[in-house]
């Protein structure tokens, strides 16, 4: 996804960024019930007319039905400069970071020749039990990031900025107040909690609903409970197939347009 330098102090570590998670969500296509053709979405204006991409602009609503128009050049002028450096500005204790700040997770893998510097940073952070805080640019967007050691590899977690966190105080009116808890009630709660304390093993928690959905799909497919879409639009499995089909279509079209040669008498 990204190649660059992981920097702390005067030490630069060439690294490559890889995703540390993968989505397992199951998605469905929407089909028309009568013939099972795929549903398509069109962009239309308030009058119902379809709008081509060439006529669509970005607008920010400043008040009802009043917009500030933002052009691509406006955004390009203020976009963060592309950088290949993740510079750690601070080291903090892991326990000081609220979990609400964490977003997406990635692996940072050393490039060739960077093994020693990478191992130095990995071991140093592990022994000090600290997390590096840094900023970096990915796909023209600036991110705050937490750099930390996990399972003998350096991970990077993108973080939300402070103004993106909803303060708990905003929900005070929904929280219980003036609740009286007896010593007996607290004692029983603590006893129950103590009996459930164990080491965290993420593999023991499975997405049961997703397993049931997959089983249902497999059962239906096994019983041949599937349909053929009436959508005439062909769908190609790979790029080469799509290119070959396009070339064949062009040749066929050119053949139709070519003038017919009159037959010469024998």
pLDDT for 248: 73
Indicate whether 10 belongs to any domain.
yes
Question: Which residues touch 109 (CB under 8 Å, ≥6 apart)?
Answer: 15, 16, 18, 153
Does residue 90 lie within any of the structural domains?
yes
Determine the pLDDT at residue 128.
92
Q: What is the predicted pLDDT for the residue at 222?
A: 77
Q: Confirm whether 85 is domain-assigned.
A: yes
Task: Please list the pLDDT of the chain residue by residue as tens digits (266 residues).
Answer: 788 889 888 888 899 999 998 888 888 899 988 888 998 888 999 888 989 988 999 999 999 989 999 998 888 888 777 778 898 999 999 899 999 999 999 999 999 888 899 999 999 999 999 999 999 988 878 899 999 999 899 999 999 999 999 999 999 888 888 889 899 999 999 999 999 999 888 888 788 878 888 888 888 777 765 566 655 555 544 555 655 666 677 677 667 666 665 555 54
Let me know if residue 41 belongs to a domain: no
pLDDT score of 266: 45
Maximum Cα interatomic distance, the chain, rounded to a whole number of Å: 114
Q: How far apart are CA 33 and CA 130, in angstroms?
A: 56
Question: Structure pTM?
Answer: 0.67
Provide the CB-side half-sphere exposure for 23 (13 A, CA): 4
Residue-range definition of the domain harbouring residue 85: 2-22+79-162
Number of structural domains (the chain) is 1
**Do 226 and 220 form a contact (C-beta atoms < 8 A)?**
yes
Is there a domain that residue 139 lies in? Answer: yes
Residue 130: give its domain's CATH number. Answer: 2.40.290.10
Asked whether residue 33 is assigned to any structural domain, the reply reads no
Report the pLDDT value the prediction gives residue 156, as an integer from 0 to 100.
Answer: 95
pLDDT given for residue 2 in this prediction: 87
User: In this structure, is residue 263 part of a structural domain?
Assistant: no
- CB-count burial class (<10 Å; 0-12, 13-18, 19+) for 124: middle
pLDDT at 151: 87
User: In this predicted structure, what is the pLDDT of residue 212?
Assistant: 84
Examine residue 132 and state whether it is found in any structural domain, yes or no: yes
Can you tell me the distance from the alpha carbon of 37 to that of 170, in angstroms, rounded to the nearest whole number?
46
């Amino acid at each position: 996804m990204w190649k660059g330098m992981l920097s702390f102090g005067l030490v630069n570590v060439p690294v490559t960024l890889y995703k540390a998670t993968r989505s397992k969500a199951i998605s469905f296509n929407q089909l028309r019930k009568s013939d099972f053709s795929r549903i398509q979405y069109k962009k239309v204006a308030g009058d119902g007319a379809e709008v081509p991409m060439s006529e669509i602009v970005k607008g920010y609503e400043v008040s009802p039905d009043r917009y500030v128009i933002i052009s691509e050049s406006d955004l390009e002028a203020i976009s963060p400069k592309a950088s290949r450096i993740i510079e750690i500005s601070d080291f903090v204790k892991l326990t000081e970071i609220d979990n609400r700040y964490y977003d997406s997770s990635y692996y940072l893998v050393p490039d060739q020749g960077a093994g020693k510097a990478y191992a130095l940073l990995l071991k140093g952070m592990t022994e000090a039990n600290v997390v590096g805080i840094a900023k970096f640019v990915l796909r023209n967007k600036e991110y705050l990031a937490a750099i930390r050691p996990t399972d003998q590899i350096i991970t990077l977690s993108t973080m939300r900025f402070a103004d993106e966190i909803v303060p708990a105080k905003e929900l005070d009116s929904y929280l219980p107040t003036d609740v009286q808890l007896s010593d007996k009630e607290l004692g029983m709660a603590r006893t129950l909690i103590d009996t459930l304390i164990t080491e965290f093993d993420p593999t023991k928690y499975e997405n049961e609903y997703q397993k049931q959905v997959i089983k249902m799909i497999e059962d239906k497919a096994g019983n041949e409970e599937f349909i053929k879409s009436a959508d005439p639009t062909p769908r190609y499995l790979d790029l080469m197939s799509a290119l070959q089909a396009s070339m064949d279509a062009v040749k066929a079209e050119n053949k139709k347009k070519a003038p017919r040669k009159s037959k010469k008498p024998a």
